[in-house]
Amino acid sequence: MNTISIIPFDELYAKDFYDLNIEWLETFFYVEPHDEEVLSQAKSYIIDKGGHIFFAKQNDTIVGTVALIKIEDGVFELSKMAVLPKLRGQKIGQQLLQYCLDFAKTQKFEKLLLYSNRKLENAIYIYEKYGFVEIPIETDNPYARGDIKMELILDKLDR
């Protein structure tokens, strides 16, 4: 059986983080200059600023990734989630999402935010299934492609 293990950031996999996300962006949208900058310098933009990157690994292959980007103390953006095209639909993204929720709870984060696009109906359905709710999106949101903002207040998960 090809089980998936979730592992933390390692510079060894920085190219996988970049490649998976660029492929996803080119498939569904386009690569914005800010994307290129963050993805090519993930350690300095995400890890060094208090964020986290996780990888889904199957055997010796990185098959998916996700980031928790620090916004402020206790508040992180769930971002940069991507899965190898040939493995989409196998719930790897949901495993990464669940891992992030569990991690956020153990770290006592207050809430997670995310930006998405309404055309990604399956993704939005999954976010809602995990408890995210839509909130107003700022007019100057960080992503030109973003047309929906969602949040998950983490202490509500324990009630």
pLDDT tens-digit map of 55-74: 999 999 999 999 999 999 99
From residue 33, give the alpha-carbon distance in Å to each of 70, 126, 151, 153: 20, 28, 25, 30
Q: Is the pLDDT of residue 2 over 80?
A: no
What was the pLDDT predicted at 159?
A: 42
Note the pLDDT tens digit of each residue in 10-30: 999 999 999 999 999 999 999
- Better-scored residue on pLDDT, 138 or 100: 100
List the CATH number of the domain containing 14: 3.40.630.30
How far is 104 from 108, CA to CA, in rounded Å?
A: 6
Give the number of domains in the chain. 1
pTM: 0.93
Strands, E assignment, the chain: 4-8, 52-58, 61-72, 75-83, 111-116, 133-135, 148-153
Domain that holds residue 44: 4-158
- Per-residue pLDDT band for 158 (boundaries 50, 70, 90) equals low
